[in-house]
Amino acid sequence: MARKLSLRIWRGNQADGGLQNVTVDANEGEVVLDVIHRVQAEQMNDLAVRWNCKAGKCGSCSVEINGKPRLACMTQVSSFGDEETITITPLRAFPVIKDLVTDVSFNYKKAMEIPAFEPPVGMKPGEPRMQQIDVERSQEFRKCIECFLCQDTCHVIRDHEENKKSFAGPRFFIRIAELDMHPLDILRNRKKTAQEEHGLGMCNITKCCTEVCPEHIRITDNAIIPMKERVVDEKYDPLRWLGSKIRKREGML
Amino acid sequence: MATGVFSSTRAKISQRTLRTDKWWIQPLVIFSVLILFIIYATIRAFENGHYFAEPLISPFYSPCLSAACETGSSLLGQPFGIWKILGMTFSPALFILIFPLGFRMTCYYYRKSYYRSFWMSPPACAVAEPHATYTGETKAPLILQNAHRYFFYIGLVFNVLLTIDAILAFKDSKGHWGHMSVGTLVLLANATFLWLYSASCHTCRHTIGGRLRNFSKHPIRYKAWTIVSALNHKHQEFAWVSLLGVAFADFYVRSVSTHLFTNLYFF
Amino acid sequence: MTNSLERHKYDILVIGAGGAGLRAAVEAREAGLSVAIICKSLFGKAHTVMAEGGAAASMGNVNDNDNWMVHFRDTMRGGKFLNHYRMAELHAKEAPDRIWELEMWGALFDRTSEGKISQRNFGGHEYPRLAHVGDRTGLELIRTMQQRIVALQQKDAREHGDAESHIKVFAELTITDILKENGKVAGAYGYRRENGADVLFEAPAVILATGGVGKTFKITSNSWEGTGDGHALALKAGANLVDMEFLQFHPTGMVWPPSVRGILVTESVRGEGGILTNTDGERFMFKYIPDVFKDKYADNEAEADRWYTDQDNNRRPPELLPRDEVARAINSEVKAGRGTEHGGVFLDVSKRLSAEIIKKRLPSMWHQFFELAGVDITKEAMEVGPTCHYVMGGVEVDPDTAAAVGVDGLFAAGEVAGGMHGSNRLGGNSLTDLLVFGRRAGVGAAEYVRKNPANPVSDASIAKAADRVQAPFTRSGGENPYALHQELQEVTHNLVGIIRTRNEIQSAIEQIADIRRRSTNVSVSGDRQFNPGFHLAFDLDNMLLIAESTAKSAIVREESRGGHTRDDFPGMNMQWRQKNNIASFDGTQVNVRQQPLPVLPKELFDLFDPHELEKYMTAVEMAKGGSN
């Protein structure tokens, strides 16, 4: 039940490039990555595309399909109309390398800027005792497959190159939230640095990160907004501030 | 100097977006509904009349605090005299509306809606925004969004008052208890929606348990947090229902007050 | 070319950034050395993320009868006693420590009610033993290791002013050759996939942690990276591959639609009541219960169905037989013409369970099929068949140091190393294998480097390696690497797949040789910048060596054991249990010889019930009672 599929694939590099039309067979049940591979094997041997597991678990095949950031392996060909041309471009928030492959090193730089997990001093392996309900919030964020679609869609950096230096992006806000909610982590300044160094305040919670997340992590509701509220606790709430001073004086903290 | 998706290092694509779906419908609808609400609310706030039809009071005016208020509409008395600005009587609604307005303006859901539909920042996901620079909520005035929790607290006070208004609506127009009308239901629904909107609020979720590190040490707050979290999934829906609910309650009271129709009593 | 060559010097080069490679790198860095980590794809995308079930370690959190001895026994039993006993012993003893330390690096496993790490049951493990995080344990492991590397880099940034002063990750880089000088490892040569630029690494020790070989086969659960690079690099560097005939075929991989071909359908689908039927509608597994399992598995549908609600008074359904039995049964049905047109059988949960319960108990399976394949498993059956999942064979290593036998300075850990799992791997043992032997490789390599400092690479070696990388571009009009790869996959799938016979393997050996001859004439179009055709040219070369090793090992082992089934030799052979097949490369072809399997020492021998050992060992071996 093969059908002919019209694709427009962006080909090129940083110097130049554009959309190229190509027609390819598509079989029942196939995903966009399958037809990209068919184009690669039959018509464009040197077409560059990243992919690994082809099962939505590694987050490598992030591209934009009809303008939407998506995993090519999780996008069914049948979700498009018979006459529809499918346009596939590289991620538009990052520098392009070649064809559908972009330079995502920004994300690895940002990962380096988030202080690592810090267990209690003197705690030995095997000693930790944590309740399931205490680890579940952080576990949700650890589902992240680092496809960086949230980073790609986030207008703070997608539309403003100059913000990249001061904004960590949704993927790393969930990392900060994961650590701030981690039952064992002892670093106490994560809220402050989230706001002052990682650009949490730049987020205007327009939720595109949540919309594109293939793991359905509730990035905005469960990580960014709770972190914003925690930041308010520390920085913007005079009553909380007063309360913490009093508790400190009374030795309760 | 081109920035964003037109930066020199990015893939050269001339379109602002390649989305083929009707992405503009949602911001357009939200923009239109909010604008209509604002127009209606503004007219009603300045109308300074037809907000009370014993025992029903419009949520736009309750609790009517000014000495200019209609008899019977001031639940908490009339601590303020008649205010005049430039010789015009200051509508008591203006003092009331500031608070729900502040609550909704700083609400995490409404922020998303109006940043998208009014400010187009961004208009929709993966659609390039028209602004040259962007600083988010880091500077004044938007840094004031962080005051959301205070509006939430005040909002709770209003929820209590409007609930009392709904209970008072179990009276008849002569002040006798034990009756119920369509108006009672309207005010009850309004109060319920507002409670749901407040209870599902992100700040509420944070206050009730979100700020805890170890849920297992606070089992009751954890239980409450799981309930609020479930409601929080529906915050968007509650935000709209409660907004339309308030407008409808006001419209209902006004209609009864202007004798457009009669408030039908069940008993 | 050599003038502009990008050069790096490190104490240790780790090839592969999955669980084993990263664990090795952490250990080497903590020993004070500088480490380069090579990933073929982006950092954190390694195939380790695909592991679902969990990591087996006898922590005894759920059942405190568990200990390393029980785990050791289970592992040996699973491997049909062809395992290198010392590897199985080290693995069983050290696995709990390796899991616990992950927690100190931020991992969040699912918990027991006491707050300890929860452990789940899995096939072949006597007690609940698999530490897990839902069904994404592999992701948790790789992310934890990745974040541990970042933590060490942050520490280096504080102490040395440069995060990459002691550990640097080279993403999207392919290693094409291991370089040796004076008979010892001196470094490695490769190219950046991004722009095709050549890179030279000088390092006295190289740790291979490249994972598996699945892409040699047509239907596989492995990603494109599983092309046996480390196996081939080791062979070419003069190391040996042990028992390459043993490949684990997971019985239930998707065979249709093509978009999900090879992807695993977890065992729990059968555990929750999924039944296997052929195109005649027959529930065929009842025909395939081996005699040794007759007392544990139901021989009629009524009893099998009752088991789901009453496990104490009924025998298990035959769908829950060990992986190799189920895989063979499906294969037989398909070969007998009772399979689907796509070469599979039906696996159905929709008839037994309600849609609601399926979604609740098998959430990720439901999502996987719905989103990847558009198949709603609550309404229709899945089409499944055996998929190449794991290679038990691999580089012959010293168990304690992970040093490759025969090549000074070369180490191997994880799936690329052989011996640990014998003829068949137990589910859950691979994740702890990565950690235990990844760490040991790090220690082993660090000790080696202390005694054997830098070994400079000669210009002649560089020139030779550079020529090899350039070669595909110097030819034109040659063979298409994609076509050759497909041809190879057909040969391995049809002739050295799950069921083998002498004639078929012989034919495979000839056809593989033919493809290899033609592959020397592969040419690629385009330039060196991120060119998948170019990349495949090198992967293809590796896969051909693997296929040859597998076929040549398979043809000599005249018995059926674990992941090697010979139709012409259906039973286990006690003589063959005492032998490893050792494959080596002489520059033109792979040669296979036999080598005695190390004998169980007495104290480990005594851990077993002699009646069990009698099924595997000769009277002579039994009389000896292990070595002293």
- What letter represents residue A251's amino acid? G
Residue C352 falls in the annotated catalytic set: no
CATH assignment of the domain containing C327: 3.90.700.10
Chain A residue nearest residue B225, CA to CA: A133
My answer on whether A165 and A213 are in the same domain is yes
My answer on whether C333 and C381 are in the same domain is yes
> Within 13 Å and on the Cβ side, how many CA atoms surround C583?
30
Judged by CB atoms closer than 8 Å, whether chains meet at A99 and C256 is answered as: no
* pLDDT tens column, C172-215: 999 999 999 999 999 999 999 988 999 999 999 999 999 999 99
pLDDT of residue C199: 97
- The closest CB to that of A45, out of C148, C154, C525, belongs to C525
My answer on whether C159 and C203 are in the same domain is yes
B1 pLDDT exceeds 90? no
Scan residues 188-247 of A and list those with Cβ closer than 8 Å to C: none
Provide the residue range defining the domain that includes A223: 105-249
The mean predicted confidence, pLDDT, of chain B is 93
My answer on whether A121 and A137 are in the same domain is yes
Nearest CA distance, A41 vs chain C (angstrom): 6
Which residues on A lie below 8 Å from C148 (Cβ)? 116
Residue percentage of chain A with pLDDT more than 70? 98
If we measure between CA atoms, which residue out of C527, C498, C545, C535 comes closest to residue C232?
Answer: C545
Which residues on A lie below 8 Å from B116 (Cβ)? 206
- The answer to whether C372 faces chain A, any CB pair under 8 Å, is yes
DSSP code, position C379: T
Distance set, CA C215 to CA A215, C14, C221, C382 (Å): 26, 22, 9, 23
Contact A157, A198 (CB under 8 A): no
Q: How far is residue B150's CA from residue B105's CA, in Å, rounded to a whole number?
A: 12
Give the residue-averaged pLDDT of C233-253: 96
* Three-point CA angle A160, A164, A167, nearest 5°: 110
* pLDDT tens column, B109-134: 999 999 999 999 999 999 999 999 99
Q: How far is residue C530's CA from residue C526's CA, in Å, rounded to a whole number?
A: 10
DSSP code, position B80: B
> Within 13 Å and on the Cβ side, how many CA atoms surround C177?
18
Identify the helix (H) or strand (E) that includes residue C148: helix C137-160
Within chain B, where are the H helices?
Answer: 25-47, 92-105, 108-117, 148-168, 182-199, 202-205, 219-232, 235-257
A252 pLDDT exceeds 70? no
pLDDT of residue C2: 45
My answer on whether A41 and A151 are in the same domain is no
For C164, the token pair is: 């990459």
My answer on whether C53 and C122 are in the same domain is yes
Query: Which chains share 3+ C-beta pairs under 8 angstroms with B?
Result: A
My answer on whether A10 and A97 are in the same domain is yes
Nearest CA distance, B263 vs chain A (angstrom): 41
Residue C526 lies in a domain: no
* pLDDT tens column, C404-455: 999 999 999 999 999 999 999 998 999 999 999 999 999 999 999 999 988 9
My answer on whether A80 and A117 are in the same domain is no
Nearest CA distance, B242 vs chain A (angstrom): 20
Judged by CB atoms closer than 8 Å, whether chains meet at A232 and B19 is answered as: no
- What letter represents residue C561's amino acid? R
Residue B129 lies in a domain: yes
Q: How far is CA C617 from the centre of its chain?
A: 27
Q: How far is residue C197's CA from residue C187's CA, in Å, rounded to a whole number?
A: 17
Which residues lie closer than 8 Å to C280 by C-beta, 6 or more apart?
C338
pLDDT of residue B206: 97
Helix axes C85-104, C68-78, angle to 10 degrees: 130
Q: How far is residue C329's CA from residue C344's CA, in Å, rounded to a whole number?
A: 11
Residue B125 lies in a domain: yes
My answer on whether A79 and A188 are in the same domain is no
Nearest CA distance, C545 vs chain A (angstrom): 22
Query: Of C424, C443, C460, which one is at a domain's C-terminal end?
Result: C460
- The closest CB to that of A206, out of B9, B122, B135, belongs to B122
Nearest CA distance, A216 vs chain B (angstrom): 13
3-state secondary structure of A230: helix
C576 pLDDT exceeds 70? yes
Which residues on A lie below 8 Å from B122 (Cβ)? 155, 159, 206, 208
Nearest CA distance, C530 vs chain A (angstrom): 6
CATH assignment of the domain containing A114: 1.10.1060.10
Q: How far is residue C183's CA from residue C189's CA, in Å, rounded to a whole number?
A: 17
Residue C583 lies in a domain: no
Judged by CB atoms closer than 8 Å, whether chains meet at C41 and A54 is answered as: no
Provide the residue range defining the domain that includes C281: 247-389
Distance set, CA C117 to CA B218, B221, B236, C135, C196 (Å): 22, 25, 37, 15, 45
Q: Whole-prediction pTM value?
A: 0.94
Q: How far is residue C285's CA from residue C317's CA, in Å, rounded to a whole number?
A: 9
Provide the residue range defining the domain that includes B214: 22-257
Q: How far is residue B105's CA from residue B239's CA, in Å, rounded to a whole number?
A: 11
Query: Of C354, C373, C389, which one is at a domain's C-terminal end?
Result: C389
pLDDT of residue C362: 82
Residue C361 falls in the annotated catalytic set: no
Pairs of residues, one from chain A and one from chain B, whose beta carbons lie less than 8 Å apart: 161
Residue C584 lies in a domain: no
Per DSSP, the residues of C448-460 read: HHHHS---PPPHH
- The closest CB to that of A229, out of B12, B136, B210, belongs to B210
Catalytic residue among C250, C485, C493, C516: C250
My answer on whether A121 and A90 are in the same domain is no
Judged by CB atoms closer than 8 Å, whether chains meet at A146 and C44 is answered as: yes
3-state secondary structure of C47: helix
* pLDDT tens column, C347-366: 999 988 889 888 877 877 88
Judged by CB atoms closer than 8 Å, whether chains meet at A182 and C530 is answered as: no
Distance set, CA B69 to CA B48, B74, B80, B189 (Å): 9, 7, 10, 25
For A139, the token pair is: 């576990």
Q: How far is residue C485's CA from residue C536's CA, in Å, rounded to a whole number?
A: 8
ipTM: 0.95
C3 pLDDT exceeds 70? no
Q: How confident is the model at residue C264 (pLDDT cuts 50, 70, 90)?
A: confident
pLDDT of residue C1: 45
Which residues lie closer than 8 Å to C619 by C-beta, 6 or more apart?
none
A11 pLDDT exceeds 80? yes
Judged by CB atoms closer than 8 Å, whether chains meet at A115 and C154 is answered as: yes
Contact B138, A202 (CB under 8 A): yes
Query: Of A87, A102, A117, which one is at a domain's C-terminal end?
Result: A102
Query: Of A102, A127, A150, which one is at a domain's C-terminal end?
Result: A102
* pLDDT tens column, C117-159: 999 888 889 899 999 998 889 999 999 999 999 999 999 999 9
Contact A137, A217 (CB under 8 A): no
My answer on whether A203 and A115 are in the same domain is yes
Scan residues 304-363 of C and list those with Cβ closer than 8 Å to A: none
* pLDDT tens column, A212-238: 999 999 999 999 999 999 999 999 999
Give me the number of domains chain C comprises. 3
My answer on whether A24 and A109 are in the same domain is no
Contact C154, A116 (CB under 8 A): yes
My answer on whether C132 and C257 are in the same domain is no
Beta bridge partners of C187: C179, C202
Judged by CB atoms closer than 8 Å, whether chains meet at C260 and A29 is answered as: yes
pLDDT of residue A1: 58
Of A56-65, B80-89, C20-29, C228-237, the poorest mean pLDDT is in B80-89
Residue B15 lies in a domain: no
Residue B264 lies in a domain: no
Give the residue-averaged pLDDT of B146-162: 96
Which residues on C lie below 8 Å from A58 (Cβ)? 41, 45, 49-50, 223
Scan residues 19-48 of A and list those with Cβ closer than 8 Å to B: 19
For B56, the token pair is: 């029903």
Give me the number of domains chain B comprises. 1
Give me the number of domains chain A comprises. 2
My answer on whether C344 and C439 are in the same domain is no
CATH assignment of the domain containing A92: 3.10.20.30
pLDDT of residue C371: 79
Which residues on A lie below 8 Å from C263 (Cβ)? 54-55
- What letter represents residue C69's amino acid? M
Judged by CB atoms closer than 8 Å, whether chains meet at A160 and B122 is answered as: no
C4 pLDDT exceeds 90? no
* Three-point CA angle C241, C557, C327, nearest 5°: 90
Give the residue-averaged pLDDT of C380-392: 92
Catalytic residue among C47, C84, C91, C270: C270
Residue C530 lies in a domain: no
Residue C62 lies in a domain: yes
If we measure between CA atoms, which residue out of C315, C293, C296, C295 comes closest to residue C305?
Answer: C315
Scan residues 129-188 of A and list those with Cβ closer than 8 Å to C: 129-132, 135, 138-139, 142-146, 179, 182, 185
Distance set, CA C601 to CA C86, C403, C573, C604, C619 (Å): 9, 21, 21, 6, 17
My answer on whether C94 and C226 are in the same domain is yes
* pLDDT tens column, C491-531: 999 899 988 999 999 999 999 999 999 999 888 888 888 88
pLDDT of residue C97: 98
* pLDDT tens column, A45-85: 889 999 998 888 899 999 999 999 999 999 999 899 988 99
Nearest CA distance, B122 vs chain A (angstrom): 6
Nearest CA distance, A186 vs chain C (angstrom): 12
My answer on whether A21 and A126 are in the same domain is no
Judged by CB atoms closer than 8 Å, whether chains meet at A159 and B4 is answered as: yes
Handedness of CA C533, C535, C537, C543 (dihedral sign): negative
For A198, the token pair is: 């990682």
Chain A residue nearest residue B121, CA to CA: A155
* In the block, residue with structure tokens 């068919």: A38
Distance set, CA C566 to CA A198, B241, C328, C560 (Å): 60, 69, 11, 5
* pLDDT tens column, C521-536: 888 888 888 888 889 9
My answer on whether A87 and A207 are in the same domain is no
A253 pLDDT exceeds 70? no
Distance set, CA B233 to CA A154, B33, B202, C111 (Å): 22, 22, 10, 26
C94 pLDDT exceeds 80? yes
Chain A residue nearest residue B233, CA to CA: A221
DSSP code, position A102: E
Chain A residue nearest residue B19, CA to CA: A67
Which residues on A lie below 8 Å from C139 (Cβ)? 57, 142-143, 145
Beta bridge partners of C412: C208
My answer on whether C226 and C253 are in the same domain is no
- The answer to whether A50 faces chain C, any CB pair under 8 Å, is yes
pLDDT of residue A53: 87
Distance set, CA C628 to CA C86, C598, C600, C611 (Å): 14, 12, 9, 21
- The answer to whether A155 faces chain B, any CB pair under 8 Å, is yes
Contacts 24+ apart (CB under 8 A), B218-222: B222/A133
Residue B98 lies in a domain: yes
My answer on whether A47 and A96 are in the same domain is yes
Chain A residue nearest residue C106, CA to CA: A117
In SS3 terms, B91-128 reads as CHHHHHHHHHHHHHHCCHHHHHHHHHHCCCCCCCCCCC
pLDDT of residue B74: 82
C39 pLDDT exceeds 70? yes
Which residues on A lie below 8 Å from B213 (Cβ)? 134, 181, 183
- The closest CB to that of B13, out of A68, A92, A228, belongs to A92
Q: How far is residue C435's CA from residue C102's CA, in Å, rounded to a whole number?
A: 10
Which residues lie closer than 8 Å to A176 by C-beta, 6 or more apart?
A114, A168, A190, A194, A198, A200, A223, A227
Which residues on A lie below 8 Å from C133 (Cβ)? 139, 142
Which residues on C lie below 8 Å from A179 (Cβ)? 106
The mean predicted confidence, pLDDT, of chain C is 93
Judged by CB atoms closer than 8 Å, whether chains meet at C372 and A56 is answered as: yes
Judged by CB atoms closer than 8 Å, whether chains meet at A40 and C103 is answered as: no
Give the residue-averaged pLDDT of B197-210: 97
Query: Of A74, A102, A130, which one is at a domain's C-terminal end?
Result: A102
